[in-house]
Structure 1
Amino acid sequence: MTRLLPRSLAARFIAVFLLALALSQGVGFLIAWEDRGQALRAQAKAEFLSRTASLALLLETTPSAVHTDMLQVSGTAYTRFWISPQQPMDAGRWRKEAWVQLAKPLPTLHKPQPDPQPGPVVDSAPGTAMLGAANATTVTDDTVRWLDLPPHAWPLSRPAKFMYLDTAIGMGLAVRLDNGAWLNAAFAKSLQNSPWASQTALSLAVTAAVLSGIAVIIARGIARPMRRLAAAAEQLGRGETVPPLPESGPDDIRQTAEAFNRMQARLQRFVHDRTRMLAAIGHDLRTPLTSLRLRAEFVTDPELQEKMLNTIAEIQTMTEAALAFAREEATVEETRTVDLSALVESLCDDLADLGSDVRFTGGTRISLRCRPDALRRAIRNLVENAVRYGERARVRVGREPGGVEIVVEDDGPGIPADQTEQVFAPFFRLEHSRNRETGGVGLGLSIARTIARHHGGDVRLSNGDGGLRAVLALPLGKGHPADA
């Protein structure tokens, strides 16, 4: 069921509104149509009884010579009247006679036109169609029965005999006149009106359009702060400084914005507190390290003195590197859009000018929103590692589905497959001599991955055919600048 729903919030709101509209209108139409049918039947019955009662009173006050003409002119497209000398007893036989009377055409009250043109014969009897329709109903001559109609149930103060001709609007009535004859009346009218008329369709379309407009307004009111929250969360995950979200709107939206703002404040406070703590530790370590260096100068044994100075220098280097690593995580560099290919190419040219064997093999021009200085440092660490351990570095930039990759390849021995993740740990080195010239302090890859992950990407290592392959993958995200 979830797969059938639209993915966007506005489309889902419209779909739910229209589904609710269709269900409610369908149920409402069925109920209204049943009520309408009952009201029409009650109205038709009341009119039929009133018309018959009026005709009975009129016949009783007029000469019998004009009764036949009165009965003919009183008939309508759905009603017929006739007089029988005897009281109708057999309901089935009377029902047949009623359908015969209804099938008779109304009398022609105008003179026919001379020389009529030949044409198709049209049955002008309105009761013919009703006769066929009525014969198809479930009421039969064997099941029809007379019903006694008491005086209080119709306009005259005398009883009458009543029956239903069919299951639709079909009725029969017989009432005794003052002269002993019986006035017979038959009524039949088929209800052909459908609840799905043009007015109904127009009403449904207008209601659907109004509800769709309301759903769009509501969905946009909900989706706009949700999109703003998603964009802010993406920026925060990349280490950018995000302004506090507006804390307005419905309670659920407002509470979500408040929770996000509190979370961002706590994260920033945690990072700042940790950075200040590390900075204080580094500052406090400089004083004892300086004291140790001064005391080492007074050591008379040259070999011991050199070892002590090397150890002090190593401690100081690791301390400074740890502080730089912590500062990189808490960077507040402004994010802006740059030409990534130009940034990588300029970095490669700078390293090549310094004597490193670095070659930029090209790439498509890609505009990327990032922190350029931090990203440049991450790429520099990867390239310098490739030169240090693999003699040379080949760098290229390429587009991938949904992102961009900066690939650095070297001609070195690579690294063991089981240590491709371990090398990203701070201060981890494959070269265990602790020589800073050959192995560094073990923070280059850690810093590179930290910077990449602050941009929403990552750094991956793999062994190629002739060396190590380092890939710095970055997402472009939605709404990134178009490629030039």
Structure 2
Amino acid sequence: MRKRLALLVTAVMTLVLVAFLVPLAILLRSVTADRAVTAATAKAQSLTSLVATADAATLRPAVDQLNTTAGHPVTVFLPDGTVLGAPAPRTPGVTLAAAQGSSLTVEDAGGREILVAVQGLPRGTAVVRAFVDQAELSRGLGAAWLVLAGLGVVLLALGVLVADRLARSIVRPVHELAAVSRRLAEGDLDARARAGGPAEVRSVAAALNLLAARIRDLVRQEREAVADISHRLRTPLTVLRLDAESLADPAEAERITAHAESLERQVTALIDQARARDSAPGSCDAAAVVRARAEFWSVLAQDQDRAVTLALDDGPLPVAVGEPELAAALDALLGNVFAHTPEGTAYAIRLTATDGGARVEVSDEGPGFDEVSRGDSGAGSTGLGLDIARQTARASGGSFAVTRGPGARIVLDLGTALGMP
């Protein structure tokens, strides 16, 4: 926009300057020529009284003395054919002026003839001729035109500078609005636009600030709602843990209590995450988290006679995902395996290091499925498990993919965590 305004002003000012300077240049040329012609005419007329009264012998020294001054050579054509002064041919203009007895200005290829007729002589009309060449007609014109051109350039530069300043005062607030919009898109809900620039831009800034405040309120309300819902789960978890502790079999009671405590930790982490505000992206060792979740689910896999294949690279493998988020994503994927495949179906967990972080792959030998969108499920579930894993991978700067046949294969590419020891 700034460049376009500068180009527009440059084009308009160029047209205005051309419309102003070209006629002025033509006027200067006319004034310069008229000045030279006026001087030559005055020089020729200074001899008229002498030509009318003196003879040729007296007139010759006066004409020669006049021609000693620079410019405008003067020639006197007497009626008897005598020519005094600067040598010059008897041109048709001289003949015409003598015949008509009137003064003339005649254009010539080399300049202009100033012809002054002197009547009342015994043998007819004498003609005083002063000649102005082209150099004299345009003397000083080049310098004047150069000054005009310089003035035009200065005015054009000044106009472009003023236009650039004006464009900057308009464009800068727009760029600030764009920067604030990007900050809001990146999650900085405290970003606000400054009121500046034209009234229209200030109106947009005010609307953007109002929108940012509204988004912040909605996000806060959503976080509090999620935290409240998660907090309500603590009561049944406490009851479940108490029931587990009352079981007669100590081993079974310990196992169920451990599961209840693990679930309670997940609920607590969910509450903390929901109430967290503008927190930096978390990080963890993917090898440790994947190994821990694989061991957690291996107990249930033994109960259902599922063969488990583990292929985990040695850690540490730092990834740009917090430990609770990665654990929740793995639990969602493994939970889908147990919920949607028959007992005895084998599954595999693979963790490999990549140039950009780590790759987690969960596959099974079940019927498989196609990737679905958030909330879609054909198996009676909420349809949020895959989306949890998908959002976790993308939040780390990685990707998520689902392939089918035979079985299901889900791949999470996790971005690396910079600066993690």
How far 1:231 sits from its partner (Å)?
1.8
1:185 is the counterpart of 2:125: no
> 2:215 aligns to what SS in structure 1?
helix
Match of 1:80 among 73, 81, 91: 73
How far 1:452 sits from its partner (Å)?
7.2
Q: 1:117: which partner in 2?
A: none
Q: 2:255: which partner in 1?
A: none
- Map 1:300-319; keep pairs closer than 5 Å: none
Query: Would the aligned equivalents of 2:289 and 2:327 in 1 still touch at CA under 8 Å?
Result: no
* Cα distance per residue 1:183-213 (max 9 Å; x no partner): 2233222438458965456545544554454
Taking a change above 3 Å as real, the CA distance of residues 102 and 16 of structure 1, as seen in their structure-2 partners, is farther
Q: 1:461: which partner in 2?
A: 401
- Map 1:213-292; keep pairs closer than 5 Å: 213-274=161-222
Q: 2:384: which partner in 1?
A: 443
1:41 is the counterpart of 2:33: yes
For 2:56 and 2:394, locate their aligned partners in 1 and report how far apart those are by CA, in whole Å: 109
1:172 is the counterpart of 2:114: yes
For 2:352 and 2:191, locate their aligned partners in 1 and report how far apart those are by CA, in whole Å: 36
How far 1:32 sits from its partner (Å)?
1.8
Taking a change above 3 Å as real, the CA distance of residues 22 and 407 of structure 1, as seen in their structure-2 partners, is farther
How far 1:40 sits from its partner (Å)?
2.0
For 1:196 and 1:385, locate their aligned partners in 2 and report how far apart those are by CA, in whole Å: 86
* Cα distance per residue 1:3-62 (max 9 Å; x no partner): xxxxxx544444444444444433333222112122223333333322222232354466
1:162 is the counterpart of 2:162: no
Taking a change above 3 Å as real, the CA distance of residues 274 and 237 of structure 1, as seen in their structure-2 partners, is same
Q: 2:88: which partner in 1?
A: 101
For 2:65 and 2:368, locate their aligned partners in 1 and report how far apart those are by CA, in whole Å: 108
Match of 2:287 among 331, 348, 358: 348
Query: Would the aligned equivalents of 1:10 and 1:223 in 2 still touch at CA under 8 Å?
Result: yes
Taking a change above 3 Å as real, the CA distance of residues 248 and 333 of structure 1, as seen in their structure-2 partners, is same
* Cα distance per residue 1:366-419 (max 9 Å; x no partner): 9xxxxx77x6655555555666756223355656xxxxxx66342625999983
For 1:454 and 1:162, locate their aligned partners in 2 and report how far apart those are by CA, in whole Å: 95
- Map 1:259-408; keep pairs closer than 5 Å: 259-274=207-222, 332-335=277-280, 343=283, 346-352=285-291, 355=294, 357=310, 358-359=312-313, 379-382=326-329, 391-394=348-351, 396=353, 408=359
Q: 2:301: which partner in 1?
A: none
Taking a change above 3 Å as real, the CA distance of residues 200 and 38 of structure 1, as seen in their structure-2 partners, is closer
Give the alignment's TM-score, normalised by structure 1: 0.55
> 1:469 aligns to what SS in structure 2?
strand
How far 1:251 sits from its partner (Å)?
1.2
Letter in 1 for 2:42: S
Taking a change above 3 Å as real, the CA distance of residues 281 and 331 of structure 1, as seen in their structure-2 partners, is closer
For 1:174 and 1:447, locate their aligned partners in 2 and report how far apart those are by CA, in whole Å: 107
Letter in 2 for 1:267: I
Q: 1:71: which partner in 2?
A: 63
Taking a change above 3 Å as real, the CA distance of residues 220 and 184 of structure 1, as seen in their structure-2 partners, is closer
How far 1:63 sits from its partner (Å)?
5.8
> 1:392 aligns to what SS in structure 2?
strand
For 1:67 and 1:266, locate their aligned partners in 2 and report how far apart those are by CA, in whole Å: 104
> 1:241 aligns to what SS in structure 2?
coil
Taking a change above 3 Å as real, the CA distance of residues 73 and 242 of structure 1, as seen in their structure-2 partners, is farther
Give percent identity, aligned residues only: 16
* Cα distance per residue 1:344-371 (max 9 Å; x no partner): 5x243343355565447999x99xxxxx
For 1:231 and 1:239, locate their aligned partners in 2 and report how far apart those are by CA, in whole Å: 13
Taking a change above 3 Å as real, the CA distance of residues 230 and 450 of structure 1, as seen in their structure-2 partners, is farther
For 1:73 and 1:380, locate their aligned partners in 2 and report how far apart those are by CA, in whole Å: 116
> 1:79 aligns to what SS in structure 2?
coil
Deviation larger for 37-46 or 443-452: 443-452
For 1:41 and 1:416, locate their aligned partners in 2 and report how far apart those are by CA, in whole Å: 102
For 1:360 and 1:167, locate their aligned partners in 2 and report how far apart those are by CA, in whole Å: 101
How far 1:262 sits from its partner (Å)?
1.6
For 1:397 and 1:147, locate their aligned partners in 2 and report how far apart those are by CA, in whole Å: 106
Taking a change above 3 Å as real, the CA distance of residues 189 and 196 of structure 1, as seen in their structure-2 partners, is closer
Give the alignment's TM-score, normalised by structure 2: 0.61
Say what the alpha-carbon RMSD is for the aligned residues.
Answer: 5.4
Task: Mark the runs of 5 or more structure 2 residues left unpaired by the alignment.
Answer: 244-262, 296-309, 338-346
Task: Mark the runs of 5 or more structure 1 residues left unpaired by the alignment.
Answer: 1-8, 89-98, 104-139, 151-158, 298-316, 367-371, 400-405, 435-440, 475-480
Query: Would the aligned equivalents of 1:408 and 1:469 in 2 still touch at CA under 8 Å?
Result: yes
Query: Would the aligned equivalents of 1:237 and 1:454 in 2 still touch at CA under 8 Å?
Result: no
How far 1:257 sits from its partner (Å)?
0.8
Taking a change above 3 Å as real, the CA distance of residues 205 and 245 of structure 1, as seen in their structure-2 partners, is same
